[in-house]
Structure 1
Amino acid sequence: MALRLMDDRHVRQDQSVRARPNMWRKKVFPYLCLAPTVILMAVLIVYPLLNAMEYSFTNANDGNIERHIGVITIPATYKFVGLQNFINILAGKAYSISFGTLLLQTVLWVVVSVVFHFIIGLGLALLLNRHIRFRGVYRAAMMIPWAMPQYVTAFGWSFILNQNYGIINQVLLAIGRSPIPWTLDVGWARFALLGVNIWLGFPFYVVTLLGGLQNIPVELSEAAVIDGAGFWQRLRYIIAPLLRPVASLTVLLDIIWTFNFFSIIYFITRGAPNGGTDTITSFAYENPIQSHFFGLGSAYAMLILIILLIITVLYVRLLRIQKGVE
């Protein structure tokens, strides 16, 4: 009896010793793996965000922030101004163009871009999901706009759309037509910027939506075809519901990226004419940030962050409501 009890104790001790490494692997090791990423995000995102939040309530500029000249340190002399930066922006006192006008132009920029990104991307994804010749070549060719660095693309299009020596206007002059005032007319300028941005953004939709389409069981479409369902019926009742999770995330990411995207605007029109092609992000970069009004620029950044958070929350809620209805 005593020997049996001793054996049971040894078995329990062995099990507890074996359980400790397993418990460490399950509970501690994952956090150790995540730690470098969390630290990097804190350094690259959280600290700048807190710094911008602090500046947004001050009159900080390049003349009153802390500066270092050799071994001499000039202390910061900027002052706390409360909500004055936000009031000046929202009331239209900061610049001649009002915040409401910029917000309206930004909404137009985002909505038109995202709608065309989705329509073109979905159409091409449906086409590439079929067994067509040279499908790999087409996929590779469509990745070129998305794979190229944005600034290289922006510089390239700025030369193509140049008023005096751009390729398009040179061709128009050669055939006896008048050149297009790409940066002088607000309508043409918006058309050009939207065209370039749509050209840049649709490959992202092709990649993500094509991946979603390839995960839809082929048997469902084949069964629907046998039952006499046409293309639009299959798109509505089979493809759309199964593709919705991927499409929803893609649209949300595109809204955020397009809202913050300004390199095309900056390099092609710089907001011309008279701020008619500016978005909130491009205007904030061109004016307070480049003029080194860090307090005002940070206030713009905080407003952009708040707007994007509101859009994200409303979008996610709308998706949940639609899912609940269905």
Structure 2
Amino acid sequence: MAAHTSQSVAKAAGDESDVARGRSRRTDGPQRAANRGGLKRAFATHWYAWAMIAPVVLVLGIIIGWPLVRGVYLSLTDANERNVARTIGANHIEATYTFVGLDNYTAVLSDPVFWQRLVWTVVWTVACVTVTFALGLALANMLNRDFKGRAFYRMALILPWAVPGFVSVFAWRFLFNRDNGILNKLLDGGGIAAIPWLDDPTWAKLSVITVNVWLGIPFMMVALLGGLQSIPGELYEAAEMDGATTWQRFRHITLPGLRSVSMTVILLSTIWTFNMFPVIFLLTRGGPGDSTEILVTQAFREAFVSSPRDFAGSATWGVLILALLMIFALVYRRALRKQGEVW
């Protein structure tokens, strides 16, 4: 009797599962058809938007997608200036480089130079972003108040952003000149010995950080100023009436109100600083020695300075830089999600 009952239950369960599978098959087909119909309707309704973004997508695919794919491919070969395709006069020499797999990545990751460059790049990025954010936030708070000449100060503080980067770097290079620079002239007038701004490794590192901070403050200040102006003034008034101090208002109103803007500008500033080639190359060229070389300048050196020029090695450095930034962005995104931020 018990066996008969168990068989009946099993049969009933099987019948129910068959019915469920049949129902799933009947509903999956219409659902897929509905999705396809929805896509067709969306395309028919918004065809103008698709037409407008198509050229942008095409251009981005050409100027970003193709070089990226080509770079990844070269990083898996032994390409250099001696074995790539080239034309000398009327003669065309075919490429003879070969596929080597992950050998280049193994070589770079086992090279102490890579880790030295990575450590300094991380230190340089963290220092620049931290100081830039702190100063930008301080200036944004000051400019968010009503005072005489506020428009002039805003314009003056945004000016470094308007000047082309290479012009600013060359101006700073002149200021840092050991013999004729204005900074050392001022120090000499005060009886202080000249500082080897760009000739000593430690001073050179401080110099490049200073210049990059000076270039990055306007962007940080403008973004944070916009965030400050979006915080309702009633919150500050209510907190002040409740007896909150200036620090308490800043901590409990300003910082939470700027969280979304802060997360975005920190991410962008980190990516830009990590790849800030012009400041390092134009100010110190990675020197003195190789003390200020970062990952991106080392990739440039592999492709255009080393002999023979190592295109595969440079591509490998570039792919590793991209991978590091992608990992950082993913970790950063996960951290934002845990904090309840949407990104």
Q: TM-score range by the shorter chain?
A: 0.7 to 0.9
**Residues 212 and 279, structure 2, Cα contact 8 Å, conserved in 1:** yes
Uncovered stretches (5+) of structure 2, i.e. residues with no partner: 1-40
1:198 equivalent to 2:217? Answer no
Aligned residues: 299
Structure 1 equivalent of residue 159 of structure 2:
144
1:54 aligns with 2:73: yes
What's the CA shift for 1:249?
Answer: 0.5
Query: Does 1:41 find its partner at 2:60?
Result: yes
Q: Which amino acid aligns with 1:296?
A: G
Q: CA deviation at 1:24?
A: 6.0
Cross-structure match for 1:166: 181
Q: Please say which of residues 79-88 and 287-296 is displaced more in the overlay.
A: 287-296
- Between 1:204-213 and 1:283-292, the stretch displaced more is 283-292
- Report the secondary structure of 2:127's partner residue: helix
Q: CA deviation at 1:29?
A: 2.0
Name the structure 2 match of 1:304: 321
Is 1:26 aligned to residue 45 of structure 2?
A: yes
Q: What is the CA-CA distance between 1:219 and the residue it aligns to?
A: 1.5
Q: C-alpha separation between the residues in 2 aligned to 1:74 and 1:64?
A: 9
Query: For 2:328 and 2:274, how far apart are their aligned partners in 1?
Result: 11
Counterpart in the other structure of 1:254? 269
Q: Is the counterpart of residue 269 in structure 1 residue 284 in structure 2?
A: yes
Aligned counterparts of 2:324 and 2:169: Cα–Cα separation in 1: 26
Deviation at 1:26, TM superposition (A): 2.7
Q: Provide the rounded CA distance (Å) in 1 between the counterparts of 2:191 and 2:230.
A: 52
Deviations 1:122-150 (A, max 9, x none): 11111111111111111110111122111
What is the one-letter code of the residue matched to 1:259? F
2:201 corresponds to 1:186: yes
Amino acid at match of 2:321: I
Give the Cα–Cα distance (whole angstroms) in 2 for the partners of residues 237 and 319 of structure 1: 19
Partner of 2:22: none
> Is residue 244 of structure 1 aligned with residue 259 of structure 2?
yes
Q: Residue type matched to 1:228 in 2?
A: G
* SS of the residue 2:46 aligns to: helix
Deviates most, 288-297 or 133-142: 288-297
Tell me which residue corresponds to 2:12.
none
Which residue of structure 1 lines up, in the alignment, with residue 110 of structure 2? 91
Displacement of 1:220 in angstroms is: 1.6
Query: 2-side partners of 1:221 and 1:318: how far apart?
Result: 29
Matches of 1:281 and 1:247 in 2, distance apart?
26
Offset of residue 184 of structure 1: 2.6
Percentage identity across aligned positions?
Answer: 41
Query: Do the aligned residues in 2 keep the contact of 1:117 with 1:202 (CA within 8 Å)?
Result: yes
Q: Secondary structure at the match of 2:92?
A: strand
Q: In structure 1, the residue corresponding to 2:87 is in which secondary structure?
A: strand
Residue 129 of structure 2 is aligned to residue 80 of structure 1: no
Alpha carbons 1:183, 1:269 under 8 Å: kept: yes
- Please give the TM-score of this superposition, normalised by the length of structure 1: 0.86
Q: Which residue of 2 aligns with 1:315?
A: 332
- In 1, the alpha carbon distance for the partners of 2:137 and 2:84 equals 49
Looking at structure 1, the residues matched to 247 and 224 of structure 2 have their Cα atoms a distance apart, in angstroms, of: 17
Cα displacement (A) at 1:69: 4.1
Q: How does 1:85-124 map to 2 (within 5 A)?
A: 85-92=104-111, 98-124=113-139
Give how far 1:193 is off: 1.0
> For residues 100 and 237 of structure 2, what CA distance do their matches in structure 1 show?
66
Amino acid in the other structure paired with 1:244: R
Q: Of the candidates 249, 267, 282, which is equivalent to residue 297 of structure 2?
A: 282
Residue in structure 1 matching 2:150, options 135, 138, 144: 135
Q: Shift in Å at residue 174 of structure 1?
A: 4.6
Alpha carbons 1:160, 1:167 under 8 Å: kept = yes
Asked whether the equivalents of residues 57 and 83 of structure 1 are also in contact (C-alpha less than 8 Å), the reply is yes
Contact 1:160–1:168, Cα closer than 8 Å, also in 2: yes
**Other-structure match for 2:84:** 65
Task: Note the C-alpha offset of 1:31.
Answer: 1.1
On the 8 A contact 2:169/2:283 being kept in 1, the answer is: yes
RMSD: 1.8
Contact persistence 1:58–1:80 (CA under 8 A): yes
Q: Does 1:125 align with 2:140?
A: yes
CA contact (8 A) 1:52 1:298 kept: yes
SS at match of 1:68: strand
CA distance in 2, matches of 1:63, 1:244: 52
Shift of 1:169: 2.3
Further displaced range: 282-291 or 98-107: 282-291
In 1: Cα distance, 2:211 partner to 2:49 partner:
43
- Answer yes or no: is the 8 Å Cα contact 1:270–1:286 preserved in 2: no
TM-score w.r.t. length of structure 2: 0.82
Measure how far apart 1:41 and its partner are: 0.6
Contact 1:121 1:202 in 2 (8 A): yes
In structure 1, C-alpha distance between the alignment counterparts of 2:44 and 2:146, rounded to whole Å: 46
Q: Supply the distance in 1 between the matched residues of 2:218 and 2:185 (Cα, whole angstroms).
A: 29
